[in-house]
Amino acid sequence: MSDASNTRANAARPATGPHYLRIGDRPILPVGAHVVPVEGPDWPWRVGPEAFDRAFEQMAAAGLEAARIDLLWSAIEPEPGRYDEAHLVALDAVLEAARRRGILLHPALFIGGEVGDAYWDVPWRAGLHPHHDPEMRHLQAAQAAHLARRWRGDPAVLAWDLTDEPPFWLFRDTTDADALAWTRELAGAIRSADPGALVTIGTAGQEVGWGPFRADVVADQLDFATVHPYPIYEPDLYPDGLLGARMTHAAAFETAFAAGAGRPVMVHEYGASSAQFDPERIAAYDRLLAWSSLGRGATGFFAWCWTDAEPAAFARAPYVRQPHETQFGVTDWSGALRPRGRVLADLAAMVRRLDLAALAADGPVASAAIPVPHEYARPYDPAAFGLADAPAGLYVPAETTWNPDRDASPLVRGLLNAFVLAARAGLAVAFPRERLDGAWPAERLVLLPAPLASTSNTLHHLRTSAWAGLPDHLARGGMVYVSCSADVAVPEMAELLGARIVDRAPAAAPAVLHFVRAWGPLDPGQELVLPAGDGTLATGSVILAAAAGSEVVAVDAAGEPALVVAGRGAGRAVTLAHPLELLLARTPDAHGPADRTWAIYAGLAAAGGLADPASVDHPEVTTGSLRGPAGGLVAVTNHGAAALRVALRLPAGTRAATAIGPDGAVGARLDGGATEIALEPYGATVIGWRVEADGRDRGATAPDPGDGP
């Protein structure tokens, strides 16, 4: 064995940790980009390893440490079971170039499509389905194992990405069962060939689109999950400008949503095209998207993509068919950093200063929970029918026939807008999955935004038996919030929530809240006018009646109770007569600076003393907290166009704090358990805090925090 081979064999390789990946005992949070050569995604027929070596050199100079690349199926396997050795040697050279430049390589397998509508099919497929057909799965498993053996134990390999954005773009009929079988077979093949290898899948839109490769289906087979948040491609969910609050929280939302399936989550692709948006606005978007998801536990970042296409490629597929794909780079085609490239370099520089082991090893913390219906995670699961205790005959849900193509988007819209409202109110939200034993989440505040309490579509709501766990949650001092659509149905609602439904509200009635008691930042006499519904039950309101002993906080346009608070045990139940979250979902740029609907969620936090221990009282500034054995990190992001100075509350017992940015770290003065921070428009920072008695924050290379301003 050569000296170089001995060095590689003895070097520590990436492995899983409690939350972050690690090398040896050191947690890592890789920051990099996906490299597509300027000549185009069909690179095996156009360029050699030197194109990647140039990119890796530039990336290392920018302070990046990881690169994701495409391994094209048809280039590796021109015939079934025959691998092109010359191309494999070229891939070896790409890996060696990454090692030489200090870049961790993250290869994505079985690439057919990657850019625009491009799909380079294997010419010998003969109409077979790559996810469903056993022979096709066997061939893919064999290739994955071959590559894993070839690079077995190599510490320059970050992880194997089984493929990019499945289901493969030509195969939209992939089922959950297909996705699970495919993932299990390929992941098993890699681990058999290289037991220490890490495995993931680069998924896009699977959580928000209820796709077969969502984390609830495949995460158990993976070492970490991924999201590719592209809200610019999801106008039904994100009907906003690039810097709208929904847009800039997209990665944080998808990270938290996918993490509820049980694996840490990496933000694996993100970005926007300079052919469609101003480069400086893209830079601001990237900053907010990345830093806010860092605070929600994201374990790595790969920007899409490293470079723009060269002008000569504009005349070739896929660029000739999708002009926006030409300018997604963090550099232009000559290699000069675009504004978003500088933001990516800043992110990498800041991450290098973080003491992840001491301040973030336990991952993100949440102050509120939104349970995700079991039907979303496991549709038509016989274990959820409640018929296993005794013989019950053959039950077949008729919904499979009268609603065969169920749409998850109303559920996702509700979850997304609740997430943004909570963030603007100083609440971090987790998305635990509904439990079949009826136990409620451990978080004191449980949010049930519409349509979670509805009845017509089982994909959109909790199981009826879930309500049986509410009394125990309230008895422990918990709090529950329920927003009602005209499709709501809650058995024993008056007893559980302190309010009951009288009727559906008239469709023409405006969705208004007149406050008769103080609620968070809202005073008696103030009014909130909500967006109008679309005439469907999903966006319709209800007429509520308050049960005896309940408190009416706000009334509707007709003077009927619209926001009702009831003491239950040691806890509280809060019921809203309007489907707030679904009304906002239909409104472009709904969460703008003039919007005050977040105050409803702020009232929840105030009523229960439930605001995040590290939070800011400003709707444009949102926070995300990570915890470790010695303290924590708080990512603070300003989603507004104005510069701000705000006070950041820190957890009780904080002894020292440090502001950490790409240019360094500086001690932050504590005053009454808070520290004042300055944020540029669309700016961000990270605050490290410690509970150590000696008052020194070892989370960054910084002076003693007592020396700060």
Q: Can you list the alpha helix ranges (DSSP code H) found in 154-263?
A: 176-193, 215-218, 245-248, 250-259
Q: 651: which 2 tokens?
A: 């957890």
State the CB neighbour count (10 A cutoff) for residue 544. Answer: 29
- The answer to whether 519 touches 600, Cβ cutoff 8 Å, is yes
Q: Which amino acid is at 311?
A: P
Mean per-residue pLDDT, 187-212: 97
Report the predicted TM-score, pTM, of the whole model to 2 decimal places: 0.96
The topology (CATH level 3) of 3-352 is TIM Barrel (3.20.20)
Report in angstroms the alpha-carbon separations of 376 from 86, 205, 211, 309.
Answer: 45, 15, 10, 39
Q: Which two tokens stand for residue 640?
A: 């507004």
**512's tokens:** 């208004």
CA-based nearest residue to 300, from 268, 271, 330, 270 = 268
With 50 as the cut, is the pLDDT of residue 708 above it?
Answer: no
The full set of domain ranges for the chain reads 3-352, 368-608, 621-707
- The CATH code for residues 621-707 is 2.60.40.1180
Mean pLDDT, residues 365-392: 94
Domain 621-707 in the same topology as domain 3-352: no
Rounded Cα gap, residues 142 and 145, in angstroms: 5
Mean of pLDDT values over 301-315 = 97
Residues 6+ apart with CB under 8 A from 574: 479, 480, 481, 482, 563, 564, 565, 566, 604, 607
Lowest-pLDDT range of 113-117, 131-135, 288-292, 373-377: 113-117
The set of residues, in sequence order, having a beta carbon less than 8 Å from that of 709 and lying 6+ positions away, is: 666, 669
Looking at 3.40.50.2300, 3.30.70.1350, 2.40.50.110, 3.40.50.880, the CATH number of the domain 368-608 comes to 3.40.50.880
Q: Return the pLDDT at 20.
A: 98
The pLDDT of residue 446 is above 80: yes
Q: Mind listing the pLDDT tens digit for each residue in 314-339?
A: 999 999 999 999 999 999 999 999 99
Paired residues of 676 in beta bridges:
647
pLDDT of residue 9: 55
pLDDT above 80 (res 693) = no
Sign of torsion, CA 340 346 351 354?
negative
- Dihedral sign for Cα 431, 436, 441, 442, please: negative
